A and B are shown apart, each in its own frame.
Chain A
Amino acid sequence: MDEPNVLRRAFTIAAGCLVALALGAAIFLPTPDPDKRAGALAITNALAFDGEFWWEDATLLIENGRVVALGSEVGIPTHARTIDVGGATILPGLIDAHVHSYGDALTQQLRFGVTTVLDMFTAPGSLPASRDARDSLAPSSRADRFSAGMLATVAGGHGSQFGVPIEAIDASTDIEKWVADRLSEGSDYIKLVYIPYQRRLPSLTLATAKTLIDAAHDAGVMAVAHVSSGRGAQDMVAAGADGLVHIWADKPVDDAFIDAALAADIFVIPTLAVFATAERSGEGVRLAEDPNFEDRLTDAQAASLRSDFGLRIPGMRLQAAIDNTRRLHDAGIPILAGSDAPNPGTAHGPSLHHELELLVRAGLSPAEALSAATVVPAERFNLQGRGELTEEARADFIVVDGDPREDPTATRALRHVFKNGADIPLD
């Protein structure tokens, strides 16, 4: 076998390539930075909100993407890295309870401290991937997302104007199957549009809306409703909806509604930021010029914040919306913070901070507003390990300057955003 053997050489080269590829893979393929994820990290010298209590001189200890402990007497293991934040405030990663996410929405939300969003209508194709992403503790540059997926509306009704394909509902629709199709697409809950008391757009009937809500409950998921009037809201409470995703401004909330809402244990996501835009209040522009945000906004975010609907929308007076929100809050009805980004005058990320300020104007204390953007939506939407910083919760949190118990705009001074235990670059 001293003759030149091309076959053996071909085999040797191929086998060598396989070995080289395996070695190359072992050496060069990037692995998550252990400092960022796996290693223990202690944030010390902080004011910290764990979702229930505020801790002074607190230490937050995280490891492997999860919270190990938070408190004033947390022991720091020797192998842990330590960051002394010098009295800054640790808050659970914020939850925006009303967004419509596509494009780079989740990236922008995270850059502004929102670690989880509740999407209220988007194209369903991207849902499975975001389910996988949110179950993972791998480093991520995007906020996690729960979503209604496709919304329930009628042909030509609200929601059909955005160009996202919709399976519109009519009298012949098999509602149970419609709901099952949403769940198999990856929807986490059902959102329906119920706006019968106006003449501009067609709407689901009360009977169909009730069938949808029942079907969702039978399938084991929540049903939330888009309403635009007091009567609509009253109908949805009676029909058994779990929550209303907008406040209304057509008439003041009355005692009858409050009694019904309390009895039904319903929650409301007022989305006051959109009412501010509808009134052409100029608040979006002011937000875009906030020194904490101005340099960090993308061109698209800045443009969105500076836009409006092109007119004042008569039925959407901001003060009326704020007053109604105050009545609900005073009566003990849970309020959740949601921005409805990216509507005109809003942007993914900054607008949740705006909503916190608006909620404080509606009578929530700054600390209550923070709960409305953390622990309350987590409880209401059953988001395990989110909106709180207790043992085994996800290490999703933000560090801000100042004391947001006193100043609702303090959350805008972001110093760190941690997602899955990793420090996200803020530039």
Chain B
Amino acid sequence: MNVQNTDTAAEAVVANGLGKRFGQKKALDDLDLRLGQRGITAILGANGAGKTTFIRCVLGLTRHDTGSISVFGHAPGSAAARSRTGVMLQDADLPHLLTPREHLTLFASYYDRPLGVDQAIATCDLTDFADKRYKKLSGGQKRRTQFALSVIGQPSLLFLDEPTTGLDTDARRTLWQTVRNLADAGTAIVLTTHYLEEADALADRVVVIRDGKVLTDASTQTIRETVGGSLIRCVTTAALNSVSALDGVRSVRTEGRFTELLCHDAPAALRALFAIDPSPQDLTVSKPSLEEAIAGLATVTP
């Protein structure tokens, strides 16, 4: 296609002020995000945070209400955008009565410069079951087949929605390696995952989406340094400012009547807290979830 020359300068994805409502619920709320032509970006967020809606809008599967998106300078869902995009969706199933080889053959025929079917089978490690009907494959084998479909067209931009759910450790590592190779070869990759480990292992950049907005956008390095520790949750009479200055506390936020302290040294923080408020109520100490941990980043001053 001739347009590719003009595309080369364009960023993979540019989303400006993106908004999408489903009835009363705002799935995307004035979301801005740009993805360059290279690198692996992990998008994190709780279920319902808006990351799947964002990906569907970029793919043209769902129409956004407000704002704009371009994919390599083209409208989402346009033929030019689709021809350069590969996708592995989370809840998508393939027709049961065809084999992985047949699925790959079909998908290869959609693209101008696809990988060879045999090559894709070898790269994605489908050899053992390439000629079995899809219906008979294990969950992991199905995911690997879907992954192979997403890369057969040698896309410039690859979306992987929870790609390793259901894979065993070996298969997961094989897939990671393949993803890294693609990234090294110049493919822009967007990954959503629940596994912090996966983001850590693969991504150069982590974007956290919450309530339809970009909450955090930082390099994996920054995340790695700041995430961890414990979460102290209590009802306290102490002032917020004084609590955030305590020893061992990384950040503080309020959640209803509760105060939440994200700590890198919980015992030190507890001692300091008791010093200024001897009787905090409903106190619990827990390991923060990924979401809580990353949400904590929001209050870190850059």
Q: Looking at the assembled complex, report how far the CB atom of A395 sits from the nearest CB atom of chain B, in whole angstroms.
A: 57
Q: Are A7 and B116 in contact (CB under 8 A)?
A: no
Bound CA–CA A7/B99 (angstroms): 11
- Residue A129 at the chain B interface, CB threshold 8 Å: no
Bound CA–CA A222/B117 (angstroms): 77
- Residue B68 at the chain A interface, CB threshold 8 Å: no
Q: Are A3 and B116 in contact (CB under 8 A)?
A: yes
- Residue B204 at the chain A interface, CB threshold 8 Å: no
Bound CA–CA A3/B108 (angstroms): 12
- Chain A interface residue count, Cβ-Cβ cutoff 8 angstroms: 4
Residues of A within 8 A of B105 (CB): 3, 5-7
Give chain B's interface residue range (CB within 8 Å of chain A). Answer: under 10
Residues of A within 8 A of B116 (CB): 3
Please, what's the 1-or-0 string for A1-19, where 1 marks a CB less than 8 Å from any CB in chain B? 0010111000000000000
Please, what's the 1-or-0 string for B102-127, where 1 marks a CB less than 8 Å from any CB in chain A? 10011000000000111000000000
Residues of A within 8 A of B102 (CB): 6-7
Closest to B118 in A: A3
Q: Are A7 and B118 in contact (CB under 8 A)?
A: no
Bound CA–CA A6/B117 (angstroms): 12
Bound CA–CA A5/B101 (angstroms): 9
Bound CA–CA A5/B102 (angstroms): 8
Q: Looking at the assembled complex, report how far the CB atom of B122 sits from the nearest CB atom of chain A, in whole angstroms.
A: 12
**B-contacting residues, A87-144, CB 8 Å:** none
**B-contacting residues, A60-112, CB 8 Å:** none
**B-contacting residues, A1-45, CB 8 Å:** 3, 5-7
Q: Are A7 and B117 in contact (CB under 8 A)?
A: no
Q: Looking at the assembled complex, report how far the CB atom of A258 sits from the nearest CB atom of chain B, in whole angstroms.
A: 83
Residues of B within 8 A of A3 (CB): 105, 116-118
Bound CA–CA A7/B104 (angstroms): 11
Residues of A within 8 A of B99 (CB): 6
Residues of A within 8 A of B101 (CB): 6
Q: Looking at the assembled complex, report how far the CB atom of A3 sits from the nearest CB atom of chain B, in whole angstroms.
A: 5
Bound CA–CA A7/B102 (angstroms): 7
Q: Looking at the assembled complex, report how far the CB atom of B255 sits from the nearest CB atom of chain A, in whole angstroms.
A: 55
Bound CA–CA A5/B118 (angstroms): 11
Q: Looking at the assembled complex, report how far the CB atom of B71 sits from the nearest CB atom of chain A, in whole angstroms.
A: 29
Residues of A within 8 A of B106 (CB): 7
> Can you give 12 A-B contacts (C-beta < 8 A)?
A3-B105, A3-B116, A3-B117, A3-B118, A5-B105, A6-B99, A6-B101, A6-B102, A6-B105, A7-B102, A7-B105, A7-B106
The 3 nearest A-B residue pairs measured at CB = A3-B117, A7-B105, A5-B105
